[in-house]
Structures are given as structure tokens and as C-alpha cells.
Amino acid sequence: MFNLMANCCNWLKRWREPVRKVTLIMVGLDNAGKTATVRGIQGESPEDVAPTVGFSKIDLKQGRFEITIFDLGGGKRIRNIWRNYYAESYGVIFVVDSSDIERMEETKQAMIEVLNSPKISGKPVLVLANKQDREGALSEADVIESLSLEKLVNEHKCLCQIEPCSAIMGCGKKIDKSIKKGLLWLLQIIAKDFDALNERIQRDTTEQKAYEEQKKLERAERVRRIREERYFVCNSFSITSSLL
């Protein structure tokens, strides 16, 4: 009877918890398996995935969370778009191709750039050591060493969890258990510090919108000046031509 009452109380407590809307970003080098991972989470087949150009977005529910995940392209030419999503992100999912040993240093530098951002430092980071199904893939310990992961996350005060996984091994309810475990860990960490994170994100997004609006006004002013200069030059040429 006591256990039944306790279970009912726990259920009632969870039911009364507010729905929390969170945004996560999924980053990593091109061909790391980000899109396959996010499609598997969504319940779609993770096979035959084309490279992401720019970004894609999915929305899903997990318990009392309404989650938006931005899958951001990892090519060198488009990684600079990542920073546009830092302010609104409650946490980071960094996908690593653990079988691509030659690009580990590039992966490390990309991770350093992400965590160096003031809008990311201090937020939880889930590292998915993907492609464990491939021969020669680095183990969890080797990925940690190759990325200097412990040192890096400590420097930036980021709680971190690493999960060796294979994104192509299943989807939906049959998704790799390590991916599911990692995502649940990330949400639990966010839930524990939700109010502080939410306040920080509201502040950062407001600042970013103000910055973007200022840049927009500056661009408009530059365009206006260029048009005025062209108009002046054209009119001067017309006047000179008429005098001749």
C-alpha cells in the first residue's frame, strides 16, 4: 500500500511539472553522422542520408520536454553559422566520427571553438562517439584522449557525458541505447539547472537580436550611402556631358 501511494505521489508530481521547451544544437564535422543521429532520434531511417547544407530542424517530445534540435552542417565553409544558434541553445550534442582518426585534430579544434564561445561555456555537452560499428574505431578512452576532452570541458566548466554509439544501428524505439541514454542525461542536467539556464538564454538571445538589428541598420546605412554616391556621380556625369 505504501509503495502504491508513493508511486501515485511521484506520478502526480511529474504530471504537475511544467512543460519545458528547450533548444539543442547538434554539431560536429561533416560526415560525422549528425543527420543520421537526429533522424534516428526522430524515428526515421538513419541510412542513405545526404550531407546537411546549412541546417535542418526537428521537433520532438520527451517526457515533460518539448525539444527542438538544430542539426547544423559541418563543412568548413558553413561552420561559421554555428555561432548563430549558441545563444538559444540549452545544451550541445557534439557528434564525433570515432573511425576517422585522421580528422581527430580537426574535430578537437572545432570543439575548442564551440566551447570557447561565452554563449556555450558552462552549458552541458553530450559527446557521441559515433560509428563504433566500423573496424578500427577509437574506444571511448581513446576519443577522450584524442580530444583532450577532460581538460577542455573543465576549462569551460561544462558538464560532459560521452557515449560510444552507432547511429545507423536503429531508429525510434530501437535506436542505439547509448544515444538514448546520452539524450536523457542531457535533459536531466538541463532540468536540474533549468531556471538559471533559461534566464541566461533569454538574456543572450535578447543581446543577440539587438546586435543583429544593429548590424542590419549599419548595412542599410552603407547601402544608402553607396546609392547616394552613385546618384551623385551619375548626375555629375550628366551635367558634364550636357555642358560639352
- 34 labelled binding-site residue: yes
- 73 labelled binding-site residue: no
d(CA 107, CA 116) in angstroms, rounded, equals 14
Q: What are residue 231's DSSP bridge partners?
A: none
d(CA 146, CA 100) in angstroms, rounded, equals 12
- 141 labelled binding-site residue: no
- 131 labelled binding-site residue: yes
Sheet of 55-62, strand order: 55-62, 65-72, 20-27, 91-97, 125-130, 160-164
CB 141 within 8 A of CB 106: no
Q: Which of 35, 124, 26 is nearest to 69 (CA)?
A: 26
Other C-beta atoms lying within 10 Å of the C-beta of residue 214: 10
d(CA 217, CA 211) in angstroms, rounded, equals 10
**Residue 206 grid coordinates:** 535578447
- 52 labelled binding-site residue: yes
- 177 labelled binding-site residue: no
- 91 labelled binding-site residue: no
- 54 labelled binding-site residue: no
- 30 labelled binding-site residue: yes
d(CA 177, CA 163) in angstroms, rounded, equals 10
- Please give the annotated binding residues for Mg(2+), written as ranges: 35, 52
- Please give the annotated binding residues, written as ranges: 28-35, 52, 74, 130-133
- Please give the annotated binding residues for GTP, written as ranges: 28-35, 74, 130-133
